[in-house]
Structure formats: C-alpha cells, structure tokens
Amino acid sequence: MNTPNSPIADVQNTVDTRHIAINKVGIKSIRHPIKVQDKSTGVQHTIAMFNMYVGLPHNFKGTHMSRFVEILNSHEREISVENFPVMLRDMVAKLEAETGHIEMNFPYFINKTAPISGVQSLMDYDVTFIGDICHGEIATSVKVVVPVTSLCPCSKKISEYGAHNQRCRIEAKVRMKSRIWIEEIVRYLEKAASTEVFAVLKRPDEKYVTEAAYDNPKFVEDIVRDLALLLDGDDRISWFTINSENFESIHNHNAFAELTRDKR
Amino acid sequence: MNTPNSPIADVQNTVDTRHIAINKVGIKSIRHPIKVQDKSTGVQHTIAMFNMYVGLPHNFKGTHMSRFVEILNSHEREISVENFPVMLRDMVAKLEAETGHIEMNFPYFINKTAPISGVQSLMDYDVTFIGDICHGEIATSVKVVVPVTSLCPCSKKISEYGAHNQRCRIEAKVRMKSRIWIEEIVRYLEKAASTEVFAVLKRPDEKYVTEAAYDNPKFVEDIVRDLALLLDGDDRISWFTINSENFESIHNHNAFAELTRDKR
Amino acid sequence: MNTPNSPIADVQNTVDTRHIAINKVGIKSIRHPIKVQDKSTGVQHTIAMFNMYVGLPHNFKGTHMSRFVEILNSHEREISVENFPVMLRDMVAKLEAETGHIEMNFPYFINKTAPISGVQSLMDYDVTFIGDICHGEIATSVKVVVPVTSLCPCSKKISEYGAHNQRCRIEAKVRMKSRIWIEEIVRYLEKAASTEVFAVLKRPDEKYVTEAAYDNPKFVEDIVRDLALLLDGDDRISWFTINSENFESIHNHNAFAELTRDKR
Amino acid sequence: MNTPNSPIADVQNTVDTRHIAINKVGIKSIRHPIKVQDKSTGVQHTIAMFNMYVGLPHNFKGTHMSRFVEILNSHEREISVENFPVMLRDMVAKLEAETGHIEMNFPYFINKTAPISGVQSLMDYDVTFIGDICHGEIATSVKVVVPVTSLCPCSKKISEYGAHNQRCRIEAKVRMKSRIWIEEIVRYLEKAASTEVFAVLKRPDEKYVTEAAYDNPKFVEDIVRDLALLLDGDDRISWFTINSENFESIHNHNAFAELTRDKR
C-alpha cells in the first residue's frame, strides 16, 4: 500500500513476465456525441457508441484505460468523423502501441421523400465506422444496416392472391479504395430489396409500396445476390461482406443469407 | 471490522432509523430450471428467469438476499410450477415479510400441426407467471406473448394487388378466477390475428396461410378488440390487459394498440 | 379493391360496431434527433426514441398512424424539448383524440470534473420524458437512470480487508410541480450512492473514489431510502418511484430495491 | 399464379443465372428444447437457440427453409447434444449442400458448493456449440461465458483501504482435438479470475470471497494472460480465442482484453 506522501504507483507500467502479448485491450461501450458529414445538409449531430483497443506487448502488465477516454474528450464536445484517422493515430501514440482498433456505431438520419405524395420524413440507419492501424498503416471499413421490405417469391407464386412479406434487415460491411457517402451505400441496399421503407407514407404512397413489393418478390438469397452485383459494379469498393435477414411474417424465426467477396 | 473469533455480524438485521418502509426488495434476473405442466404431454422441462421480492418494514436495515436463492435451490433440481403458491408462502415466511412478489418468465413449447400437410413442429411462446402475496392472500396472473401474422386492411383495400403484412406480437396479461391452461390463452391470441404462425410450413401450408391472412386483414386495433371479445366471453377471466405490436413491413417503426379491462 | 380513378378509401375512418374503446394506439420505437436545454451549455443535440399514442373512441375502426410521424417531422430537423407540451396538444388535435401519451427516451450528457485531478469528461445518462394529456390537461414526469458505485456494508463489516462493490443502476421517475433541471435529479441520485462514477479518472482520482466508496457502504435498501429522503426534501417534487439495482460482483444475479411515494 | 389443380411450383428449385454462390443461407434464432450430457448428473434439460446454414451453389435460386426446421423436429422432443455431428450430416444431406454450419446456444447449469458453508446452489453459464461441415469433414468448437469477480490491482495498490471490484465476464471459444467437459472449461475460466461467483453465499462465504478477491487482484489483461497459460497447458485444446470484460464499478463503460492463439 501507498504511504501518504509517496508518488502514486503506476501498476500498469510494471514489467510482465508471462511473455504473452495481448491482441486487443481497451475500453468498450462508451457513448459520446459526434458530428457526421451529411451529403445534403452539411453536418448532422448524433450519438456514437465507441470501442477502442490497442495491442499490448508481452512485457507490459497493463494499458492505461483513462487515456482512451481522454482522447474522446480532447476534441470539442462533439467528435467530428473526419477526425477518425486522427483518432487512430492519436490513440496508438498516447498509448505507445503499434496496433490499434476503433469501432464507432451511431444512428444516421436521411431525409426521404415518399414516392407519390412527396411528403418528407427522416429515416434512421445504423452505421459503424471500423478502423485499424498497424505500424502507421490505416485500414477502415464501414458497416451499414438498412431496414427494407422483402416479399416471398414462393408465397406469391403458389398462392391465388396475396404473398407474405415482412420487415427485412440488410447489412453491408465494405472496404473502400476511395470515399463513398453513407447515402450511396444505403441506396445500394435499398435497391436490392423488394421495396424500400419510409417513416411517413400517405395512402397513395402505401398503395405504391404495396404494389411495388408484390411486383418485385425476393428471397433473402436474391437480396444478397442482387446487392453483390451492385457492389461488384462500384470500383471504389475492394471487399464486402453482406447479409440479409427476414423477420418472417409466417414464422417466429428468421431467414438469413450471407455472402463475402474479395474483389482484389 | 470483525475480530477473528467473534460471531459474524448480521448487518441486515440491525435497526434502521430512517422510518422508510421499502415496497420491494430482493433478487432480480436469476435463472433456474423448471418443470411446467403441459396439457398434452404431462410435463415439460424449461428454463425460467426469476425476480423475487418482499416488502421490508421501516425498522429493518436490510433483507437477507441469500435466502431468496436458497428457496430456488430447496426443491429438487427443477422447480415445479405447481409449487408457485408454495414458493410465495415460503418466501414471506423465510424472510419474515408480510408481502411478497415473484415473477417467473420462461419459454414454453407447443407442438403444432401445419394446416394442410399435417407436419408437426414445436413453437416457442413466452410465458410469465406473476404472484403477489399480502398477509397470506395470494393473487396470481399470467402473461403470454404470441407471435402471429397481421395483414393491413388499408393496404389491401387501396392496392390493386397484394397487401403489406408482417410479424406481429400479441401480449395478454390475465387474472383468473379458476384455472386456464397456457394452451387456451395461446389459442385466444392466435385466433385474434390475421393468421397464426408455425415453425414448419410445407408449400401447401404456405399457400394456405398466405391466403388465410389475405382473407382476414386486421389492424393492431382490430386484433386487441377481437381479443377483448374472446376474453370477455370466458368467465374464468376476471381482468386483462392486452396489446398488439406490428413490426411493420413498410416502416422501421412499430404500430401498437393496448386495451385494459376489469370485468368485475 | 379500388378502381383506378376512384378516390382512395379511408378504411381507418369507417365505423366500428364492436363497441370497444382502445386505451392507447399509435406508433412505437421511432428514432428522431432532438435538442435538449442544458443547464451549462445552453443546448445539446441528441437522439430520442419515441412512443406516441392516443385513445381511440369505440366508434372508429382505426387511427391514422402516418399523422404521428408527421408531427415528429413538422418541426425543424431537430425537435426541441421545450415543445413537448406543444407536441402533446398537436397530437390529440391532429388525431381528433381526447387523450394522448408520449414517451421520449434519450441519452443526455453532463460534463463532469474528476474529484482530485480536475480532468473533465462527458458522462452519459438515460433520460425519459413522459407526457399525458386528457381533455386538455397535461401531466408530465421525468425518468432518469444513473450509473453509480455501491459498496456492500455487510461484506465490509465481516471481512478482514476489502469489501465487494459493483456498478449499480439507480432509477427515479418523478412528477413535478415546478421545473427541475435534469442535472439536479442526476445529482440527487449520485448523492444517494456509495460514490458517483466518472468517464475519466486519473490515478489520484481512482484512489479517491475507491476510498470514498469504502467509507460510505450502502445496500440497495440504503440507496433507495437515502434517495427518498433527498426527494422528500424538494418541494418541487410531488410524487416519485425509485429503484436501485446492483450488478453484484459476487453473484450472477442482481440485488434490487424499489420504493414509491406520493407526497400529496 | 398457380391454377387450382396444378402441382405446387418449387420456386427455390429453379435455375439461377446470376452466377453467385452464397456462403451461408438458412434459418436464424429458432428455439428448441435440448438435452445435454452433464458430468455429474448424467443429463440436463435446457433450451437452445439455433442458427442453421448451408452453402448454396450459384445455380440454385434458393434453399428449402422448412427442411432446417424439420431436422430440429425429427428427433424426439428434445435434441440430444450427442447428435450434434449427426445433425450437421443430416442437414447437408437433406439440403443437398456441400458445406454447413450450426450454432446452438443454451444456458447450462452447474451445482456449486459455497467455499465455507458448503451450501449448494445452481449457477447458470452460457454455452454455444459451433459446428462446420465441409465435404464430409466436421470441425467443432465450444464457446463458454463465465461470470466472475475481478478486483483492480491499481486501485488496491494506490488506496489506503478497499479496492474497486466488479462483475466480470470471461469468454472462451476453443477448438479441441479430443473431448473436454463443459465443466472443465468453466473451471479454467473461474481459476483465471480474482475469484469465482456463486448463486448462494452465506455470511462466512461472503467474507471468504471478499478477502479472496482482495488477495488476488487482476486486470482484464491479467485474466486473459492467466487463462491463456491454463489453456496452453491442456493438450486437448488446439486453438482458442478468449476475452475478459469488466463492468467497471467506477465507470459507465467497460474494460476489455482479447487474445487469440493457434497452438498448432
């Protein structure tokens, strides 16, 4: 134990003799306000959940957890997403590490226009920025989750009338060679569905999306394949993993399809 | 601090001078295996999450948390649901309390037969037993959550073809004058939907449920009203609160309706 | 079905003959950006999850779900919390209802100063505004959830050294006669704990909070009682229900205490 | 659409021309009762959540989702874990696939004896069996999550008295060359902690675990390193990834460490 006037011991900084390096060590599930660049309105304010880790060499007993949180608090109140690579460099510098990893998950809002009435409303999407730094080299990817409608081709084909449909969740994680807007990735995912969804639909819009879904039936298999074709066609994307999950309206379980592609 | 050989102090048992009684104190979110009586197969084994509380008079500093867990472990390995009133009496006796409350939430399985093919499969339902004891008087209620299909009457009416439909969650909490099987409550909820759901549906079954839902469109409002009529008609039920929640296939938010009725 | 040129039918507006009024009907789990007045910085931007319901008289078949979402989108992009009563009045007016209910749940950030080092960092709190309107009369309440440290008095008393402690979650839902800042309610909850928590603690701060918790042991029972005394002493508060939940460090289940008080 | 008397079309079985194979397609989040072999009592009944996927060749439009659920229902009511490899073979056979993947997550109970009083009580652990089959070759791994106590070495070192401690969650996913009981993996994880946790602790036990934790302080870094040493020493284990997460008692965020090791 400390005697009252001694300097406070730095336990984390002591030597470790187990000879075991740790891949990732840091803080998990901390919330902080952020600012994200928005294709249409310039900037939007939102709230992110962060995970921040560094690699720990075998000879150190522990990392300094408070420094991770200090990085979050070292900017103005809101962290700007443009600073994401800066945060990665900062983190490995302040923690004297060679590798680092940051995940930053936040709701992102896009103002959508209903297809017939033209009424506008905000839709929320789940977005995650994932960054890795290794000896100064940075690699980032983006994950976007988009709710859509899927309508079952089998149910449509075999039934006299109607077809079961449901909310479906499409997820894409992509690595890029050059910048793509969140809005562009969201569009790819919405185009791969039976139809996209909206926060406000007036009756003429509801008629439109109902018929549009019926005209465009898709299995979860179709959704990931059509999305793969769209992402294959965008040269800015070098790698992706995508999945589609139906909250089946006729079951209490989900239908799921997943596909990974390295374009290099 | 204790001296090594003194009897161990009972801090909870000391006098409290703040003159504040506590409505509920106990343990929350503890899992334990249970046995439930099953209308068709006699008994089924499942896993319950328990909350167990007693009222604490103003003059006691604390309750004895370990005694709650001892009650769970005082039966054979699996707790039998028939012992639910016994558990309530045990709990207030062992904790020297005048009031007590137990919640016991578990998945319950029913073997269902697909409507055309006759294929059988297990469906899971969420069931909660809730018991209150007050000066020896016991009151119990049961909450049942049932996944179903709902199909939108407006979408059907205004569209040339198709109609949006989705997974819907119906919940009923009921107080009874005499015993009702879980299976009977589940049936009421499934009857109030556009159509019920199954774990296995072969193609002729899928055709059947698709058309059945289209033939029976219901808003969340219709579902709670039709369910209210069914529960009104069962004299064993004295009180209920019910709700219906659509995971809308055309939105990223839910439609919701709730209705409470005291039949006494 | 509609013929192409007929006006689109309004199914919701048709007469219902089941003679059953519905307590609450509307939309659930929709996210939207908001602005909240902040005691220190003027205003903060955050993201809220909304539930919005009205009462439906027995003679109407359905409510108009899209109008709820239009209310959310009728302000500038971000909804201002000062408009909460306005939203309630708007909602019952636009939906031609006599009763209405809105819940609005959001993370709220407070800049805290570490006790010894003075380092500043943002802490997140969960806040919910709940409003009811009935024939023009509005009643609102606020729910605040605060993470703190609790240290067990029994463990401290009976052990030669050390004492088990853990993250604890205190929740208060209060009704007010006159305005109270979120920051003030948070302070009451933090004062009722063994010690408050911070996002950044440097080593001298960690020493301070460790010793402070050891000097101030509290059961969940003590926390709700001490909090009740604090809320009893504030004349702006007319009613409250509070609870405290320990994520016990020595168990896989939680300790819980709840207390409700009507001061009128 | 079907004419009434035609055989029902098999849409899934039609040819796909997009030339895109799908890595995983199947059902997600379906619950079913299971039986697990138990080291001490022979067998225990519990409830599992299943994900079941196969690879889909590029030339098929879709998989047959109902067949996955039929496999779950083709055994007696409860699926026996010994049948896990059989289920994998069954699944690829029935779905005419070359690769398959099953995840099966369930609570598992172990009867533990309190360290001083000897009182017995059941503790719940989260276990997942993961199986892959590829051209007849099966590879399986097991993931076990164990709640424990961790006590901070820094807080102990720098404070005059006390030390912050908290519930910690240790997770290990291991691949094995020969069989290991769930109970054995659980023991490794509990040994790596400051101290293990129990459902029932009487006062002498609480004194014991409080002091034991204080005598054995560990960072999340220490826990994964000590666990790595234990798993390194067991020749039945060929590969593992482990992590440790502290629900910090002095913060509203978590401390986390992760380590992966291939022993081959």
pLDDT at A2: 41
DSSP state of C60: B
Whole-angstrom Cα distance, residue A23 to residue C40? 40
State residue B51's pLDDT score. Answer: 98
Beta strands in chain C (DSSP E): 22-38, 42-56, 79-80, 99-113, 120-134, 137-151, 165-176, 195-196, 237-246, 254-262
pLDDT score of C228 more than 80: yes
The amino acid that residue D111 corresponds to is N
Confidence at residue D2, expressed as pLDDT on a 0 to 100 scale:
41
pLDDT of A12-42, one tens digit each? Answer: 888 898 999 999 999 999 999 999 988 887 8
Q: List pLDDT tens digits, range B200-259.
A: 999 999 999 999 999 999 999 999 999 999 999 999 999 999 999 999 999 999 999 999
pLDDT digits (tens, 9 = 90+) for C34-58: 999 888 878 899 999 999 999 998 9
Contact D185, D144 (CB under 8 A): yes
Which CATH class, in words, describes the domain spanning C21-262?
Answer: alpha beta
Q: What is the DSSP string of chain A?
A: ---TTSPPP-GGGSB--S---EEEEEEEEEEEEEEEEETTTEEEEEEEEEEEEEEE-TTBS---HHHHHHHHHSSSSSEEGGGHHHHHHHHHHHTT-SEEEEEEEEEEEEEEE-TTT--EEEEEEEEEEEEEEETTEEEEEEEEEEEEEEE-HHHHHHSSS---EEEEEEEEEEEESS---HHHHHHHHHHTSSEE--S---HHHHHHHHHHHHHS---HHHHHHHHHHHHHT-TTEEEEEEEEEE--TTSSSEEEEEEEEE--
What ipTM was assigned to the predicted interfaces of this complex?
0.94
* Cα gap B57→A220, rounded to integer Å: 57
Measured distance CA(A76)–CA(A82) in Å, rounded: 13
**H-helix or E-strand containing B86?**
helix B84-94
Which residue type is seen at C172? A
The DSSP bridge pattern shows strands C254-262 and A237-246 to be unpaired
At A58-72, the pLDDT tens digits run: 999 999 999 999 999
Q: What is the pLDDT of residues A206-253, one digit of tens each?
A: 999 999 999 999 999 999 999 999 999 999 999 999 999 999 999 999
Is there a contact between B221 and C63 if contact means CB atoms under 8 Å apart? yes
Nearest residue of B to residue A204, measured between CA atoms: B158
Neighbours of A140 (CB within 10 A): 15
**D157 interfacial to chain C (CB closer than 8 Å):** no
Q: What is the pLDDT of residue B171?
A: 98
What was the pLDDT predicted at D248? 98
Neighbours of chain C (3+ CB pairs under 8 A): A, B, D
Report the neighbours of B using a cutoff of 3 or more CB pairs below 8 angstroms: A, C, D
CA distance D207 to chain A (A): 21
Which two tokens mark C99? 């009763």
pLDDT in tens, C95-135: 999 999 999 999 999 999 999 999 999 999 999 999 999 99
Helix or strand or coil: residue D225?
helix
Read off the pLDDT band of C224 (50, 70, 90).
very high
pLDDT in tens, B141-173: 999 999 999 999 999 999 999 999 999 999 999
Measured CA to CA, the distance from residue C242 to residue C263 in angstroms comes to 14
pLDDT computed for residue B76 by the predictor? 74
* Partner C contacted by D206 (CB < 8 A): yes
pTM: 0.95
Region for residue C96 given its phi and psi (left: phi exceeds 0; alpha: psi -120 to 50; beta: otherwise): left
pLDDT for the residue numbered B253: 98
Query: d(Cα C8, Cα C64) in Å, to the nearest integer?
Result: 14
| Per-residue model confidence (pLDDT) at position A3 | 47
The residue among B14 and C221 whose pLDDT is bigger is: C221
Q: What is the pLDDT along chain D (264 residues), one digit of tens a residue?
A: 344 456 788 888 888 989 999 999 999 999 999 999 888 878 899 999 999 999 998 999 999 999 999 999 987 777 887 788 999 999 999 999 999 999 999 999 999 999 999 999 999 999 999 999 999 999 999 999 999 999 999 999 999 999 999 999 999 999 999 989 999 999 999 999 999 999 999 999 999 999 999 999 999 999 999 999 999 999 999 999 999 999 999 999 999 999 999 998
What is the rounded distance in angstroms from the CA atom of residue C134 to the CA atom of residue A67? 51
Structure tokens belonging to residue D56: 């889909």
What would the two tokens of residue D22 be? 């799908």
Q: Distance from CA of residue B120 to its chain's centroid?
A: 25
Average pLDDT over residues A187-200: 98
Q: Find the farthest-apart pair of alpha carbons in chain D and give their distance in angstroms, rounded.
A: 85
Given a contact cutoff of 8 angstroms between Cβ atoms, the answer to whether D244 and D170 are in contact is: yes
DSSP label at D68? H
Q: Distance (Å) from the C-alpha of residue C206 to the closest C-alpha of chain A? A: 10
Residue D39 is predicted with a pLDDT of 82
Asked if A249 reaches chain D (Cβ–Cβ under 8 Å), the answer is no
Q: Which of B11-25, C125-139, C179-193, D239-253 has the lowest mean pLDDT?
A: B11-25
Mean pLDDT of B93-119: 97
pLDDT value at position D4?
47
Strand C120-134 and strand C137-151: the pairing is antiparallel
Kindly state the percentage of chain C with pLDDT values over 90.
84
Mean pLDDT, rounded, for A136-145:
96
Rg (CA), chain C: 23
Spell out the residues 6+ positions from residue A118 whose beta carbon is closer than 8 angstroms to its own: none
What does the pLDDT average to over C71-98?
A: 88
User: DSSP assignment, residue B9?
Assistant: P
Please give the single-letter amino acid code of residue A154.
Answer: C
Contacts of D245 in chain A (CB under 8 A): 28
pLDDT tens column, B123-141: 999 999 999 999 999 999 9
For B46, the closest of D47, D111, D203 (CB atoms) is D47
For residue B140, the 8-state DSSP code is E
The alpha carbon of residue A101 is apart from the nearest alpha carbon of chain B, in Å, by: 31
Q: Does C203 touch chain A (CB under 8 A)?
A: yes
Cα(C252)–Cα(B162) distance, rounded to whole angstroms? Answer: 49
- Residue D140: CB atoms within 10 Å: 15
- pLDDT score for A5: 53
* Rounded Cα gap, residues C246 and B168, in angstroms: 34
| SS3 category, B222 | helix
Helix (H) and strand (E) counts in chain D: 6, 10
Indicate the domain borders of chain D.
21-262
Q: What is the DSSP track for B94-135?
A: HTT-SEEEEEEEEEEEEEEE-TTT--EEEEEEEEEEEEEEET
Lookup result for tokens 């900084």: A13
Q: So what's the pLDDT on residue A77?
A: 72
Tokens standing for residue D1 = 């659409």
**Which residue in D198, D192, D188 sits closest to D234, CA to CA?**
D188
Number of Cβ within a 10 Å radius of residue B77: 15
Q: Is C230 on the interface with A (CB under 8 A)?
A: no
Residues A109 and A46 sit within 8 Å (Cβ to Cβ): yes
CA distance B257 to C12: 14
Which chain A residues contact residue C46 at CB under 8 A? 33, 45, 47
CA–CA gap between residue D36 and residue D81 (Å, rounded): 5
Nearest to C30 among A72, A77, A199 (CB): A199
- Whether D18 and A229 lie within 8 Å, measured CB to CB: yes
- Asked if the C-beta of B257 comes within 8 angstroms of chain A's C-beta atoms, the answer is no
> Is B11's pLDDT higher than 90?
no
Query: D19: alpha, beta or left, given left = phi > 0 and alpha = psi -120 to 50?
Result: left
pLDDT tens, B37-92? 888 878 899 999 999 999 998 999 999 999 999 999 987 777 887 788 999 999 99
Please tell me whether residue D164 adopts helix, strand or coil conformation. Answer: coil
The residue length of chain D stands at 264
Position C1 pLDDT exceeds 60: no
Helices H / strands E in chain C, number of each = 6, 10
What are A164-186's pLDDT values in tens digits?
999 999 999 999 999 899 999 99
Q: From B199, which residue of chain D is nearest by alpha-carbon distance?
A: D69
pLDDT by residue (tens digit) across A58-111? 999 999 999 999 999 997 777 887 788 999 999 999 999 999 999 999 999 999
Under the banding of pLDDT at 50, 70 and 90, the label for residue C264 is: confident
